[in-house]
Amino acid sequence: MYSGGMSMNTSERLIEATRELLWERGYVGTSPKAVQQAAGAGQGSMYHHFAGKPDLALAAIRRTAEEMGAVAEAVLGGEGTAYSRIEAYLLRERDVLRGCPVGRLTMDPEVVAEPALRAPIDEVIGRLRIRLAEVVQQGLDRGELSGSLDADETAATVLATVQGGYVLARATGSRAPFDSAVRGLLALLAPRDAD
């Protein structure tokens, strides 16, 4: 099969189609037939590249987790104060009403029950929490953030605000609860001007 040129090769199309379907439908709702149709690939082609649905799902979940980690690091590893980097992370462009593609996977019973599928999710969430805690600790060390903050607890709060904000937005069909949660957390983290 020809896979050169500017177009995505079959393996990439299958992974991307699976990522989208997992986000929209979850693991059970992501049938091999739906993946093949979305990717414009035949059954033989799918099984040439992947051993089966679990193998393809794992490749898709790994890609989604890697992308989430890279996007977060691009913001958190940037210039500026700890507060400005956390603010940039919280305010970055998101498709709030679709929910977090990684967060959605944590609510999928089949994904959570399968250690191999859950592992990339656990890893990226763990790395993100550690990275957020590092940024908070930098802010504490530099006197940019309130000395009463605990870096690990604050990192957990940032993650919980984002993930909970997605849930509230999806439940109401409006991004307003997400935006409100982010503004509330930023107000709590905002450096206090010395009197």
Domain boundaries, the chain: 10-189
Contacts for 193 with CB less than 8 Å, ≥ 6 apart = none
For 98-153, the DSSP string reads: G--HHHHHHT-HHHHH-HHHHHHHHHHHHHHHHHHHHHHHHHHHTT-S-TT--HHH
For the stretch 30-86, pLDDT in tens is 999 999 999 999 888 898 999 999 999 999 999 999 999 999 999 999 999 999 999
CATH number of the structural domain 10-189: 1.10.357.10
Residues of the chain where predicted confidence (pLDDT) is lower than 50? 1-6, 194-195
Contacts for 100 with CB less than 8 Å, ≥ 6 apart = 68, 94, 162, 163, 166
Distance, CA of 11 to CA of 151 (rounded, Å): 41
55 three-state secondary structure: helix
Contacts for 60 with CB less than 8 Å, ≥ 6 apart = 15, 16, 18, 19, 22
Among 90, 58, 95, smallest CA distance to 72 is for 90
Predicted confidence at residue 187, as pLDDT, reads: 96
